[in-house]
A and B are shown apart, each in its own frame.
Chain A
Amino acid sequence: MHKLFSTIILTILILLYTSVIFAVERKTLIPPSDFQAFDTPNDNGKSISLRWPVSPSESADIEYVVYASRYKSVPFDTEVLRISSTTMYEENSDSNFHYAEINLEKFFGEKDIDKEKNKNYFFKLVLMSGKNTVVAETIASASPKGNWFNWLKLNNFIIMILFCGLVLYLIEHAKKNPNLYLRKISGLDAIEEALGRATEMGKPALFVHGLNGMGSISTIAAVNILGRIAKRVAEYDTELKVANIDPIVLLVSQEVVKESYLEAGRPDAYVEDNIFLAASEQFPYVAAVSGIMMRERPAANFYMGYFYAESLILAETGANTGAIQIAATDSYTQLPFFITTCDYTLMGEELYAASAYLSREPLLLGSLRAQDVGKGILIAALVIGTILTTFGIGFISYIFMAG
């Protein structure tokens, strides 16, 4: 009797203990009540947005997992999202809703998405804590649709249209008033000085193009400056060498230099072989141009256009040869190297300004004036916007919000 009584007591104790343990380990997971899927607005029709309210059982060790399927009746075996339950809150929802965009292309393939337009996709939300899982009651579904217009970028569109209008207007204005004022750019005077030195020393001047092709604005500006340099070189009867990396830039440069020699009345002095393709790749180009610098010791080096990692190697080699060096680039990552190794550097927009200043072309002058007006508008917006934001009025900052 005593033995039976002890066994019952022990069993009760074991049951009590295990129930307590399980109560601790098995947290009750409460799934979100309202799981929604909808077509992502303002997209290319290849994603679905998911939204659901926070669950009371969320914590850092609990995860949300979303499975997707093309059909409601087949197993949901494609995992499209796995996040900690305390992350990815919807913006401006005070952490009351979760929001995620699912890129269907990534999980179902580009061809399938394109082939089956307007197809419904089904999503199942699972709340997971270790092996313990609970599935949200609602199976959400939505069909992705492409949008012709991204309304979030409306301000981008308006700014672009306004600025294009401004550019066109000021180009017309520049055509009527070719003497539009442009401030003097100090580096440009140095070009004359450098060419004069090359002439006195009887050594060539070397013009090094950047790595970009003719589609790049900096290359176009560089070619404009090259034309002016070539004209001056022809007048001084100095030798000009032009190193190119792009065959199209090479052809354009040859044309421009030839024209400049013709303008200067010295077509006989033009040597086509002096405008050459040094190499077709970045570092071979560096090796070739560095070799030329060391062997021919040009008295003036001009680096014009868009440069990459080769800038320092080129300019350093040029500095070692004792040449006057003038650089002009809008590659802001390479500007520090040119500033430290060259005698004069035209920074960023100064390259375009130099091109406009030298050529006096209405197209360039008008564009430059339009840029100045644009900058003025931005400065005004920044100053007024910041002051208004300080007083809690976010009107201007809202206009310039990036969508």
Chain B
Amino acid sequence: MNRDVSITTWILIAFGIVNIYFLTTGKLSFGLEGLGLITAVALTLAIYSFLYKDNPAFKIVENLFVGVAMGYWIIITWFNILKPDVLEPLIVPLFKDTGKSPQYIVIIPTILGIFMLLRFSTKLSWLSRWSFAFVVGLGSGITIPNFVHAFILKQMEPTFAPLYTGDILGSINTFLILLGVVSVLIYFFFSVEHKGVVGGVSVIGVWFLMVAFGASFGFTVMARMSLLIGRVQFLLRDWLGIIQ
């Protein structure tokens, strides 16, 4: 514990000295811009301190992050949904002459929205099922045709390629695609026990899945590395000015 306290103290002292130096030498402005930058750096370092171990700095930033996100979400809901879709078209024209007539159709989705909140009431929570039924019904109606189109037909279309077109490598490729699709589909059979031929084919399916997941993993890790590079650039360029 003492070791952790001394490490934290030394880091805070070093952070303070660096920022005081930057402020006094004019590398950072005394205004809002400089203060904002120092705050951003402090928050970034506090978040990364979790890599060492859980600590009070991380806890503060974690709670700040959660709180800010909640506040942001409320503001976004008000300005992007409630104000433009309910207040302005329905409620304001009811009480004030805006030159526009109230859009009474808005009442239906508003009531459905209020019904959703009634889940908090034990007596009226059954009304929220109407809203859920509407959302699930609408969602399914939109999703199912798109699902059939994108995940069945669009996937099957290129699989129907001739197995032999005169090009041996092309034929091997087509065969591998067919084998991959069929074996993976067989792996996801739940009504048949994975034994014998079915078991053998499903093992091939697992191999295909793992190859695909490996490629996806590598691709995403590279993308995550670029996020880390972005943060490190922020610290080294925008704050310390070590790199240009």
Contact = CB atoms under 8 A, between A and B. Distances in A.
B139 to A, nearest CB: 5
Contacts of B79: none
A368 B190 CA distance: 8
B65 A375 contact: no
A337 interface: yes
B244 interface: no
A158 B136 CA distance: 22
B30 interface: no
Residue from A181, A183, A283, A349 with most neighbouring chain B CB atoms (10 Å): A183
A287 B189 contact: no
A160 B148 CA distance: 7
Contact of B193 (A183, A283, A400): A183
Given A382-B182, A383-B178, A369 B191 contact: yes
A11 interface: no
A125 B139 CA distance: 42
Given A295-B54, A339-B213, A382-B181, A156 B149 contact: yes
Interface string B206-242: 0001100110110010001000000000000000000
A248 interface: yes
B162 A390 contact: yes
Q: Determine the interface band of chain A, counting residues with CB < 8 A from chain B.
A: 35 or more
A66 interface: no
A402 B163 contact: no
B160 A386 contact: yes
A279 B148 CA distance: 34
A301 to B, nearest CB: 16
A159 interface: yes
Interface stretch (B34-42, B69-77, B101-109): B69-77
Contacts of B53: 294
Residue from A182, A290, A381, A397 with most neighbouring chain B CB atoms (10 Å): A397
B164 A390 contact: yes
B161 interface: yes
Interface string B21-47: 000000000000000000000000001
Contacts of A287: 47, 61-62, 65-66
A372 B209 CA distance: 19
A382 B156 contact: yes
Given A155-B153, A291-B58, A402-B157, A347 B194 contact: no
B59 interface: yes
Contacts of A339: 210, 213
A205 interface: no
A312 B224 contact: yes
Interface in B48-88: 50, 53-54, 58-59, 61-62, 65-66, 68-70, 72-73
A291 B59 contact: yes
14 contacts: A156-B149, A248-B119, A278-B66, A279-B66, A281-B70, A281-B72, A283-B69, A284-B70, A290-B50, A339-B210, A389-B160, A390-B164, A400-B157, A400-B160
Given A279-B70, A389-B160, 7 more contacts: A153-B149, A183-B190, A284-B69, A295-B54, A333-B220, A382-B181, A387-B163
Interface of A: 153, 155-157, 159-160, 163, 180-183, 185, 214-215, 248, 251, 278-281, 283-284, 287-288, 290-291, 294-295, 312, 332-333, 335-337, 339-340, 347-350, 353, 368-369, 372, 375-376, 378-379, 381-383, 385-387, 389-390, 392, 394, 396-397, 400-403
